[in-house]
């Protein structure tokens, strides 16, 4: 069966965690319909190109949270759900700093969630219900089936429309509104309006996916009720995108369907979910000091970590360390605790202590992206540029869209003052960081500058030429 295409959708849901719980239930075999019938208008290569194009547009125009630890918590759940499907590896997952409850997916494998979705959820099972619903839209090719009705339209126009939506999310929406006006807006309205049957199908199959992955299906019905009670409006999409109406029929069907499945307990990792939730609230300015102090009176682990981060952001290192010490008395091995501890040392330029804090943890879990990035940051600060570069090159090899890793590579190259290709490498890495942050023109200009400086090194020049050609082609992509 061919890999299914990713569509653009709109949802409204919850949060995630990364520590994998142990589930004891056995998932039943579900009858998930298979959608076949040829390649369709969007082939796999084009869908990936669309996904990467929109990934860059979203990063350029939306207030994206560049927090590797938080991204990894969501990616864990997303990957677990994807294991229930025949879909391929996604382009990426982005967390947007926005208090509104919302999430969306786009053609090619990009999934984005609002921070408000995290703070509104009660447990990780609720976020799994959001992702399950979105993945079901993808798996059933709801977007592609609509798209095939309009074969004369170019898909890159959709990326342009998405850019317009991003622009419209800013305080001055004139530019974005202009992008979406006229035939493009009308086309989008027709293509992305999910039918009532498709919504119900996504609810049903999404619940099957989340149950198969070990999440409580009651959470979907629970979060539907949370959405229904919420008076907040979706913040950055025009009215014609609100094509996922939450009807009383959908709510009652979700509860009935969940009741028919074998019972399963909610995740037993609630403490870690609370860590994610309150950490998100702090880094997005959704939590006050008074709220956190009140929670801390209950000797709450999540509140201690959240307060440590809160005071760290304010530069109050004594209070940050005091709360972190309280958290250590409960659990000293949490990855976020070690990341915050390292940042407390780094902010005070205590580089040896920072290295001693992060290095053992990264050695225990070398596959942990957040720990590896933090170790690389420490190594750069210590002028151990080659060790940092080796570590970071492994990360970008695994994910060429890792903006944080490219930024650290740029810093490492700049700190390596004796390297004969220092300036060229700084420009190369800066180009990648700019490009994947959505500033395609700046990225190409940086690479052109590197190209001019590398004229005497044929091997380096060939590498730059190849990458430059690909960047320019992707920027001018016509589909």
* CA distance linking residue 183 with residue 204, whole number of Å: 33
455: helix, strand or coil:
coil
Q: Is 449 annotated as a binding residue?
A: no
For the stretch 81-127, pLDDT in tens is: 888 888 777 788 899 999 988 887 776 777 888 999 899 999 999 98
Judge whether 203 counts as a catalytic residue.
Answer: yes
What pLDDT shows up at residue 126? 93
360: helix, strand or coil:
helix
Q: Which of 52, 67, 134, 434 is catalytic?
A: 134
Tell me the DSSP string of 209-232: HHHHTT--THHHHHHHHHHHH---
The mean per-residue pLDDT over the stretch 13-35 comes to: 37
The residue length of the chain stands at 479
Which band of pLDDT confidence, cut at 50, 70 and 90, is reported for residue 294?
Answer: very high
Tokens standing for 193?
């309006």
Backbone angles phi, psi at 428, to 5 degrees: -60, -50
- Does residue 251 have a pLDDT over 90? no
Q: Is 71 annotated as a binding residue?
A: no
> Which residues are 94's β-sheet partners?
112
Which band of pLDDT confidence, cut at 50, 70 and 90, is reported for residue 199?
Answer: confident
For the stretch 327-356, pLDDT in tens is: 999 999 999 999 999 999 999 999 999 999
- Does residue 4 have a pLDDT over 90? no
Backbone angles phi, psi at 106, to 5 degrees: -130, 165
What pLDDT shows up at residue 416? 96
Cβ–Cβ under 8 Å, residues 128 and 219: yes
Which single residue is written with the structure tokens 């190209």?
A: 451
Q: Which of 203, 402, 416, 440 is catalytic?
A: 203
Judge whether 148 counts as a catalytic residue.
Answer: no
Cβ burial of 113 (10 Å; 0-12, 13-18, 19+) is buried
Q: Is 199 annotated as a binding residue?
A: yes
């Amino acid at each position: 069966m061919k890999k299914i295409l990713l569509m653009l959708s709109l949802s409204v849901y919850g949060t995630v965690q990364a520590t994998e719980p142990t589930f004891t239930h056995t998932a039943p075999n579900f009858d998930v319909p298979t959608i076949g019938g040829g390649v369709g208008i969007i082939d796999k290569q084009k869908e990936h190109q669309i996904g990467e194009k929109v990934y860059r547009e979203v990063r350029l125009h939306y207030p994206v949270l560049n927090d590797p630890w938080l991204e990894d918590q969501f990616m864990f759940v997303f990957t677990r759900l994807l294991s229930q499907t025949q879909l391929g590896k996604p382009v990426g997952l982005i967390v947007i700093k926005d208090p509104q409850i919302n999430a969306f997916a786009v053609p090619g494998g990009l999934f984005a969630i609002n921070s408000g979705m995290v703070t509104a959820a009660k447990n990780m099972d609720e976020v799994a219900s959001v992702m399950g619903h979105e993945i079901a839209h993808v798996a059933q090719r709801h977007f592609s089936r609509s798209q095939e009705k309009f074969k004369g339209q170019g898909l890159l126009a959709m990326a342009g429309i998405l850019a317009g939506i991003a622009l419209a999310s800013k305080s001055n929406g004139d530019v974005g509104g202009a992008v979406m006006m006229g035939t493009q807006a009308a086309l989008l309205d027709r293509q992305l309006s999910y039918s009532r049957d498709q919504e119900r199908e996504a609810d049903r199959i999404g619940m099957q996916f989340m149950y198969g992955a070990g999440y409580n299906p009651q959470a979907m019905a629970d979060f539907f009720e949370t959405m229904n009670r919420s008076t907040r409006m979706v913040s950055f999409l025009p009215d014609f995108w609100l094509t996922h109406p939450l009807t009383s029929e959908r709510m009652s069907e979700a509860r009935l369907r969940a009741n028919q499945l074998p019972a399963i307990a909610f995740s037993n990792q609630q403490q870690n979910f609370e860590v994610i939730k309150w950490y998100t609230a702090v880094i997005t300015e959704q939590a006050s000091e008074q709220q956190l102090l009140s929670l801390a009176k209950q000797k709450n682990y999540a509140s201690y970590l959240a307060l440590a981060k809160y005071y760290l952001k304010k530069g109050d290192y004594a209070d940050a360390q005091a709360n972190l010490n309280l958290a250590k008395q409960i659990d000293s091995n949490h990855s976020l605790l070690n990341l915050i501890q390292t940042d407390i040392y780094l902010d005070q330029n205590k580089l040896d202590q920072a290295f001693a804090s992060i290095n053992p943890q990264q050695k225990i879990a070398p596959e942990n992206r957040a720990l590896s990035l933090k170790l690389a940051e420490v190594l750069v600060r210590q002028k151990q540029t080659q060790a940092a570069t080796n570590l970071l090159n492994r990360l970008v090899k695994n994910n060429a869209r890792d903006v944080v890793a490219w930024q650290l590579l740029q810093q490492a190259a700049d700190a390596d003052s004796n390297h004969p290709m220092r300036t060229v490498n700084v420009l190369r890495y800066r180009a990648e960081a700019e490009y994947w942050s959505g500033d395609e023109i700046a990225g190409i200009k940086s690479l052109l500058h590197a190209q001019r400086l590398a004229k005497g090194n044929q091997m380096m020049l060939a590498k730059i030429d190849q990458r430059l050609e690909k960047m320019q082609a992707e920027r001018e992509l016509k589909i």
